[in-house]
Every structure is written in structure tokens, then in C-alpha cells.
């Protein structure tokens, strides 16, 4: 068995789900190994993401773990057998792994939802806006890495070509803050309006004058998995990007998103506000 030197977030998620199934079945790693005729170390490698698992072995384990959710098992099989190398692999070793993991997550997502308060969501940013945003980072990025981050962010937009349902809820503050110069800000709002016209894209705005909005003041993202159990929430933190997949925490994020969504203007009202702000620039 050839071990991976580094596993992706998607490979690690598969490993975590297999471990959760085994724990739910009340079986030890030694007992699971016996079911496959392997040793405990091999099960440990599979459940840590360092080794893959074949479809036949995955289905055998799921059966012995008494998992009867066929849609969930099929989704795990897809995760286990997909060997495709996406466009993000060209950045491996050049950008932090979290950038690649995010692009891979988006590539496989069945829907995407973003909530932002101070910046335009990355998928909706123009190149000039993205460059200005990355340029404000402390400590300052080397020029070569700045170019790579901007390029990577622009390539992430391929998700729109696949018509993946996308919804962004953006606070009015993010629309008014000038990231870059006035021309950059105006072009960004214009681009936001253009993207919002697509059938699979929804842009909603939380206005300043909304009464009683406490909400959440931290950006968040939800990405749909092959089945709801495999959804993922993403949060940015000072130490890096965090991928959240526990059912309890996902429930919290879904609730927060619904509340933020309910507090926002509808699509038409949001476009009217964005158009007005663009004219003011």
C-alpha cells in the first residue's frame, strides 16, 4: 500500500466519514480490519486519509457497519474513486494547501452560499478588486505570490460555467468600502450586477437601515456535497481556512444562513441598491 505524503481536504473528509461509520457501528479498528482481511494499521491509514479505499472495500465496510443510506454510500464511492486532477493542481507547492482544497471543494459542490460583511465574495471579485484586496494583506505578499493568488481566484470562477446554484448575501458595508480606487470600486459593482442576472446566481444585500439585525459578523461559506450529510461549511480565521463538517455544526451554519438570508433584501431590491451605489461613485 502506497501512502500519500499529504491528503487533500476531500480525501480527509472521506476518511472522517468512514471513521464515523465505524464508531457508530461500535466496532474497533481491529474488527474492521478483520472484515477486510487486512491489519489494523491499514484501517488506520484509510481513516487518516493517508491511503485510499476501493469501491468494493468501501461497500463491504458500509454493509458491515449497517449503513443503509444508499445515496450516502454512493456519494462516498464517488469521493473514493474520483482520480481526476483539477486545474488547481498547477498551484500545488506554490500556494497554501487551503487554496487548492477550496477550489476542489467548489468543483465538486452541488451548491454554494456565501455571506460577507466587509468584502465582495471571492467568486464575484474582479481581477483589480482581488489584487487590491490581496495587496492590503499584512505582512505584504511577495509580488510573485500576489500574482498567483489573483490568478487562482480568477480561475475559481469556472464554477459559474458549470451553472452550480450560487447565492451571496452581502452587507451594504462591503459594497461601500472602496477596495482599491474609485474606478475599481465602480467596476466591481458593475460586475456584481452582471453576474446577478444569471439564472443560477442570486445576490442579496443586507442594508444599513435594517432594523434589529444582529446576525453574524463573520464571513461564512456553505458548499453542498453529494448528499446533505457531506455538506461543508468554511470559515476564515487568523490561522487559516477552516473546513467544518460535523452534523451539529453544519446545522448551526444552515440556521445562521437562513437568518441572514431572511434579513436581506430580495434580488430585485438588492440590484436596485447596487445600481444606486454604483451611480454615486
Range 109-130 average pLDDT? 96
Dihedral (Cα; 202, 102, 223, 265), 10-degree rounding:
-30
pLDDT at 239: 59
Q: Both 40 and 138 in a single domain? A: no
pLDDT of 212 over the 80 cut: no
Beta strand 240-244 pairing with 232-237:
antiparallel
Domain that holds residue 210: 87-280
pLDDT at 242: 87
Question: What pLDDT digit, counting tens, does each position of 93-111 carry?
Answer: 999 999 999 999 999 999 9
Same domain, 108 and 139: yes
Q: Indicate whether 240 and 151 sit together in one domain.
A: yes
**What single string gives the DSSP state of each residue in the chain?**
-PPPSS--HHHHHHHHHHHHHHHHHT--HHHHHHHHTS-HHHHHHHHTTSS---HHHHHHHHHHTT---HHHHHHHHHHHH-----GGGGGBTTB-HHHHHHHHHHHH-S-EEEEESSS--GGG--HHHHHHHHHT-SSPPPHHHHHHHHHHHHHTTHHHHTT--EEEEEEHHHHHS-SS-HHHHHHHHHHHHHHHTSTTEEEEEE-TT-TT-----S-EEEE--SSGGG-EEEEEETTEEEEE--HHHHHHHHHHHHHHHHTS--HHHHHHHHHHHHHH-
Q: Quick: pLDDT tens for 213-224.
A: 766 678 899 999
Single out the residue in 37, 54, 81 at which a domain terminates.
Answer: 81
Q: Which one of 81, 106, 128 terminates a domain?
A: 81
Averaged pLDDT, 42-69: 95
100 & 218 share domain: yes
Tell me what pLDDT residue 46 has.
96
Residue 211 is predicted with a pLDDT of 74
Check whether residue 159 and residue 262 sit in a common domain: yes
What is the average pLDDT score of the chain? 93
Q: Does 91 share its domain with 77?
A: no
Amino acid at each position: 500500500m502506497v501512502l500519500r505524503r499529504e491528503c487533500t481536504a476531500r480525501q480527509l473528509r472521506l476518511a472522517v466519514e468512514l471513521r464515523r461509520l465505524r464508531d457508530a457501528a461500535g466496532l474497533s479498528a481491529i474488527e474492521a480490519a478483520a472484515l477486510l482481511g487486512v491489519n489494523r494499521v491499514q484501517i488506520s491509514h484509510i481513516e487518516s486519509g493517508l491511503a485510499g479505499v476501493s469501491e468494493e472495500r468501501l461497500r463491504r465496510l458500509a454493509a458491515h457497519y449497517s449503513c443503509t443510506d444508499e445515496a450516502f454510500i454512493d456519494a462516498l464511492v464517488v469521493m473514493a474513486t474520483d482520480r481526476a486532477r483539477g486545474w488547481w493542481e498547477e498551484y500545488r507547492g506554490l500556494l497554501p494547501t487551503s487554496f487548492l482544497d477550496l477550489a476542489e471543494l467548489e468543483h465538486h459542490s452541488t451548491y454554494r452560499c456565501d455571506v460577507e460583511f466587509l468584502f465582495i465574495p471571492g467568486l464575484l471579485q474582479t481581477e483589480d478588486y482581488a489584487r487590491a484586496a490581496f495587496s492590503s494583506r499584512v505582512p505584504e505578499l511577495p509580488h510573485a505570490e500576489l500574482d498567483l493568488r489573483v490568478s487562482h481566484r480568477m480561475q475559481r470562477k469556472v464554477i459559474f460555467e458549470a451553472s452550480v446554484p450560487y447565492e451571496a448575501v452581502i452587507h451594504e458595508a462591503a459594497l461601500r468600502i472602496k477596495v482599491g480606487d474609485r474606478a475599481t470600486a465602480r467596476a466591481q459593482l458593475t460586475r456584481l450586477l452582471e453576474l446577478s442576472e444569471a439564472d443560477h446566481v442570486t445576490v442579496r444585500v443586507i442594508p444599513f437601515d435594517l432594523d434589529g439585525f444582529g446576525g453574524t459578523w463573520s464571513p461564512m461559506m456553505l458548499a453542498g456535497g453529494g448528499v446533505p450529510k457531506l455538506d461543508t461549511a468554511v470559515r476564515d480565521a487568523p490561522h487559516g481556512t477552516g473546513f467544518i463538517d460535523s452534523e451539529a455544526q453544519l446545522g448551526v451554519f444552515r440556521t445562521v444562513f437562513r437568518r441572514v438570508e431572511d434579513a436581506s433584501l430580495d434580488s430585485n431590491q438588492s440590484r436596485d441598491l447596487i445600481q444606486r451605489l454604483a451611480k454615486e461613485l
